[in-house]
Chain A
Amino acid sequence: MSGRVLVGVKRVIDYAVKIRVKPDNTGVVTDGVKHSMNPFCEIAVEEAVKLKEKKLIKEVVAVSCGPQQSQETIRTALAMGADRGIHVDVSGKDYENLGPLQVSKILAALAKQEDAQLILLGKQAIDDDCNQTGQMTAALLDWPQGTFASEVSLEGDKINLVREIDGGLEHIKINTPAVITADLRLNTPRYATLPNIMKAKKKKIVTVKPADLGVDVTSRLEVLKVEEPPQRQAGRV
């Protein structure tokens, strides 16, 4: 086993920002708006780093798909303890139309290229709430998946997982290599401290294009319109 874990980290609008829809209804305002790492991705990074600290895995590789600024998100993962980063460069219209299907193809290709033992992702991104990338990636690789994980423990070449599901908690055991998606209560992510941010500047980030991985990022979906939810009306008793 390579002992290598791939962690997907997505750059999204910061959770504290008040979202505004663009006047032309084609999307939300992103210019000049604070962005940060998707909170569920933070939890995934934290879990990967914890596994490395327990010496259960050897290397954590942070991956992000997006424009140049995605490298900032990778740097945060490096400051939290990831070893190196891969930036898959997608920008412009391709980035606007980038969704779980294309990202899962990219992650599957990278998993093979990097001989990954484990892929750790957040369960969903807070901008699109798709909750699909982990599942699609597992399907493309024909790997088992442990989604909505609130507890993860490695046992030899298997993984014990507790999943938070509607009915309660489900305990499963899956083989590796596998895809795991992190849910809220899996852990509390550490802050990136200044000394670690400085150290992270020296860690390597490699940039690749989707075409290099044999992936076509053309979208099969078209966004027709983005609207605010209807204004709340006063109630009547």
Chain B
Amino acid sequence: AAKVEKTECDSIALFLCRCRPPDVVVFPRCVEEVSALAKVCHKHRLPIIPFGTGTGLEGGVGAMKGGVCFSLRNMEQVLDLHPEDFDVTVEPGVTRKTLNAYLRDTGLWFPIDPGADASLCGMAATSASGTNAVRYGTMRENVINLEVVLADGSVVHTAGKGRRPRKTSAGYNLTNLFVGSEGTLGIITKTTLRLYGIPEAMVSAVCSFPSVQAAVDSTVQTLQAGVPIARIEFLDDVMIDACNRFSSLSYPVTPTLFLEFHGSEQSLEEQVKTAEDITQSNGGSDFQWARDTETRNRLWKARHDAWYAALALRPGCKAYSTDVCVPLSRLPQIIVETKEDLIENRLTGPIAGHVGDGNFHCLMVVDPNDPEEMHRVHLFTERLARRALAMDGTCTGEHGVGLGKRALLCEEMGPVGIQVMQSLKDALDPNNLMNPGKILQREEP
């Protein structure tokens, strides 16, 4: 049975400061080369660390035991686009922005947009999500097939080679086994993705609220009203202030919701009206909305730059993003309690969240040279994760487990759940070569 072990790697201090480079980096150009290289590593029991864009937020590419990093950036083809079937297959070097630029003439797009311009195969590996998961889902719902190289070099197509039906009930769901496996079960060398029509029209709106409760209540009620809202982002007063300064905006410094609606011109009118009525009934004010591209882009740039805006609050500091997710009904309580915790412990942690999913991030801005502050942050993040777990939630909504949340995963899943995960890992990678030290903790001999 896997034991819960507190290793030094769980410490946020080390996580933030220590770089863990591999011993060797290889740049395979095709799946045959990936397979051949994996066979070499397998023969010599060398750790294998897959690398897409290296933009993950939980230390996923750190080579904890050294080994061979497989940088997949030279495999950068968009293969097999089928516009009528709404699917496309891409290699690991293709990022989400590159794909959407490629697709722009077809009227299709891939909506999942984590902050970074990440590798799509890497996004599959971490089960990434973005600001519009509330409407379009996360990688889990949008990966149809994967080509994966296993630890021994064998190549598997999780839904069968070249297959891309919109749904299937054929056998075990291997595709979703690998989605979110963070490189611990295999190297993803192709992903077949579900595409969507570019929205006919978009409207963005902003609304200020007197309290966190009011903002979150509005979110819940908007969803309950059946509005197919595309994005609903929460920024607390600290975050709004940071964004104002960084992006030269002038929003009232108070809990704020950023909303975005997709649809036809007629449906947009109805959606916006319903949402506006709800926000007003919850004490919302300054409801502004924008239809034109330039203003909407400016609005969302502020949200996507939140990381840098938070960092700019305390130059010289580093930032770490928490990432918990709870059922919607528990969201007001957890945000309120978390803000109280931040104030009580004198921590800088502006909050930005995909509240439509019950998911929010505290961007902890911390001085890496102040061990006492680092320790306070570390304890805060553990309390936050446990708060979420106590509310039927998860310790990670989108960033993954990586290094820092292995112990929390054990609490979340319980011993039997962890045992099942460990059994799968042992079956696919008995020598623990695939990205060792991530997701699951292992008893060291």
- Chain A residues with CB under 8 Å of chain B are 14, 16, 34, 36-37, 72, 76, 79, 188, 190-197
Contact = CB atoms under 8 A, between A and B. Distances in A.
Interface string B52-68: 00000000000000000
Given A37-B105, A76-B105, A194 B98 contact: no
A192 B107 contact: yes
A47 B294 CA distance: 15
Contacts of B197: 193-195
Interface in B169-212: 197-200
A188 B293 contact: yes
The 9 closest A-B pairs by CB, nearest first: A194-B107, A194-B197, A197-B107, A193-B198, A191-B198, A193-B200, A188-B293, A193-B107, A76-B105
Contact of B107 (A14, A16, A37, A191): A191
Nearest to B264: A195
Contacts of A197: 106-107
B293 A36 contact: no
7 contacts: A36-B105, A72-B105, A188-B293, A191-B109, A194-B198, A195-B197, A195-B264
Instruction: Select the residue from B105, B107, B293 with max chain A CB neighbours within 10 A.
Output: B105
B108 A16 contact: no
A36 B104 CA distance: 10
Contacts of B109: 191
A192 B294 contact: no
A190 B105 CA distance: 10
Contact of B104 (A72, A191, A195, A196): A191
Given A195-B264, A197-B106, 10 more contacts: A16-B101, A16-B102, A36-B104, A37-B105, A188-B294, A190-B293, A191-B109, A193-B107, A194-B108, A194-B198
Nearest to A192: B107
B88 to A, nearest CB: 13
Interface in B101-153: 101-102, 104-109
A192 B197 CA distance: 10
B98 A16 contact: yes
B378 to A, nearest CB: 42
A192 B109 CA distance: 11
A196 B98 contact: no
A167 B408 CA distance: 60
A37 B98 CA distance: 17
Given A191-B198, A195-B200, A79 B293 contact: no
A5 B4 CA distance: 71
Interface in B30-87: none
Contacts of B200: 193, 195-196
Contacts of A72: 105
Contacts of A14: 102
A147 B102 CA distance: 29
* Max count, chain B CB within 10 A of own CB: residue among A79, A191, A196: A191
B107 A79 contact: yes
A72 B83 CA distance: 15
Nearest to A18: B76
Contacts of B106: 192, 197
A172 B169 CA distance: 66
Contact of B199 (A34, A36, A193): A193
A106 to B, nearest CB: 24
Contacts of B104: 36, 191-192
Contacts of B98: 16
Contacts of A194: 107-108, 197-198
A162 to B, nearest CB: 17
Contacts of A36: 104-105
Contacts of A76: 105
Interface string B382-401: 00000000000000000000
Nearest to B100: A191
B107 A196 contact: yes
Of B102, B106, B107, B109, most buried by chain A (CB within 10 Å of CB) is B107
A195 to B, nearest CB: 6
Contacts of B199: 193
Contacts of A191: 104, 107, 109, 198
A180 to B, nearest CB: 21
A16 B94 CA distance: 12
B397 to A, nearest CB: 29
B163 to A, nearest CB: 24
Nearest to A200: B107
Contacts of A195: 197, 200, 264
